[in-house]
Amino acid sequence: MATVELTDDTFRETVEGNDIVLVDFWATWCPPCRQFGPVFEKSSETNPDVVHGKIDTDAQQRIAAAAGITSIPTLMAFREGVLVFSQPGALPAKSLQEVVDAVKALDMDEVREAIEADASRAG
């Protein structure tokens, strides 16, 4: 599966409507973003069961602001609509595959229990 451009109109639907979604926040003027682009594209081919979305932070400033993006590239991973990974910086292919494998291996019942426990402690 090739990467898909995400916009205000498609972001929420994509994240909530797919099991695993990786999102690359990037910009055309960013050299590390251009370096990471082919790695991300290759991952989309290696992992066709994972949606690989790209968000151009210049064109989609509302999404970038809502996601709290302060550095690019930033990679986020969502599983069943839940943000489970977020890290700025360009990853090498091996590290990106490790993130994908870790997200696939998550027990989402445990993740939701942890989120609920954190929320109850904070409240």
Q: Is 31 exposed, middle or buried (0-12, 13-18, 19+ CB in 10 A)?
A: exposed
Distance between first and last Cα of the chain: 41
To the query of whether residue 30 is one of the catalytic residues in this protein, the response is: yes
Catalytic member of 15, 20, 33, 91: 33
Distance of alpha carbon 103 from alpha carbon 112, whole angstroms:
14
86 in Cβ contact with 76 (< 8 Å) = yes
Name the β-bridge partners of 21: 51, 78
Distance of alpha carbon 7 from alpha carbon 106, whole angstroms:
27
Catalytic member of 20, 22, 30, 75: 30
Active site residues: 30, 33
